[in-house]
Structure 1
């Protein structure tokens, strides 16, 4: 197999003489420019004007060498076809594409029904005996799962595991909705009332760094390095399990300005940061990048159709 590569500049033959014409001028200007900086520590071995002449000649030589490659080139790959990358290698399969907005748990239930997940997992998520060995209602199991890993699994499958893939059946948005519905089977997201109860505690203990809206823009943020976490950063927080988030809140993050809260108290709010309350804070943080608001019709037949895997 022979491949002929043509120079992208089809006028190279016309341009080449101009390059030869201007290269001495460029080298002359370069020399004049250097002489304008007497503070430069340049150890010339001969007077500058003599070196300048050498520089001009060198520039012309280099230009000639480079321009000699401007014409047609023929590269033969005969006999090496097997070493070429196949089309499937660069097709982009398995690429995680993050959502544009917080995934909706209620919309995820619609995707769950569309994909008939209950056939193996049961309506509750506990699993049908003989068809599924994973209990999706287990908090211990759910807290160890990263959202991004769950998205990869339901979208693209996993080698050695027999499980349907949804990347050719659901849109990116629907797949993320499904992931967060699956997570909700073990840990129901905070209701608006529960959120409102925790919000003042977050405001007096966390917002000073993370900001009231959780985007890392609190009053102290500008003085911290690294910057406080932005809870709306999907790529960052979908790569964190709930166990990791709990550990960060409970024990802090060394060298990053994140304090430890486990065992401390907010006397003004009459709150003790014990293990259970820190789990509530984890749920509070999750609400910055998940939603309990439905955005599509409750009827699966009227929900959005797959138009893209992005």
Structure 2
């Protein structure tokens, strides 16, 4: 078992040092934990047998008991005839007080260590918190306070920490190191010491409410290989029906890191930061380190971010097939829980997520659009960024998602009059959100999350476009239009928005 745990620790540490998703570390040590479980069975069996031996077996006979009592009496008489030890040691003087001296020294050193290791550092932290903590730092609400108690009761701190260390790997994965004042109102603190699960001190605005509730109800609905246990007793039968305790836990988890973001602390400290002395401190002090960690979605205007690298699948047929095959494996491990095994948005978690996961087979996506979503996520939805994955993995996912789309029936001819009719309809009803050219950059787009669709980078099938105009997209700002527009007008709009598709590289002849 010792060898197994040592190997597991080394493997897990190596994954932690990388930028790979947290769940990769869980998968990497799965076989070692299995060996540990099997190794522990004999030990557990030994304890069980020990306790069984204490309550079973033949009882002592009366004769044996009498004999034992007689022997005990003789032992007492013999002991009484022995001269006291104190008489023999009386001549040793101060040595007779050795035990008293040792006891006093032990108590004294314990008191000294408590003073040096607890009281003085605690006073220093208290002074630091008073000096640095924002004056507007809010206290936990009543719901958050109750959630904190439930968080401790359910043992969440056994697996999740609430402290980002100043190590480069911690900063790279979770964001800015934890400051003492962030736990100003935490008593007792719930920093934790083990990271079986990821750190939660930057959970504020990290995942939306529907994702958090689904994950709390059954983590494997959204993270296939999660080792976190489900908490169905915090719900009334489904992730969309949390009890008051479930809502309290959610409120507490979503408050973690909120005071720091709302206070603007990082912006203030960056302006007066000094040159650090060690590489780890340097990593913790750089502006990039204090920026949004890799797991936080970034809002994108028009569903496209210039900061995301454009991931083009291989042009060679054999290489492309290899990428698609690898992408299928990655999709099954990381995406199918929400999007479904076929990418149709019907995964196990989809029933409790709003907006629903995208049906990736119902539209043609440009490389730019897929790259941006994989790199930045989709703000306002449960779609997280995956920029912590290696670039070759992201490229394989792009190739696989392209393979999911099966073009629907396309009219053999497209009358110019139909497109001309669609343009004024689009300008009057859609451009305020989607923009004049359908690039998702209309006047209202900046205030919407998820952002409006950029039809320059996404071409829905006729069936999908018609369904959206009929029923809208629940969980987004897109309403149904069946009451405002006639069937003929909606049909014209379907063809018009599909005609807007034109990825940048196609427009530029690349």
TM-score exceeds 0.5: no
Larger proportion of helix: 2
TM-score of the two chains, using structure 2 as the length reference: 0.23
TM-score (norm 1): 0.34
Structure possessing the higher radius of gyration over alpha carbons:
2
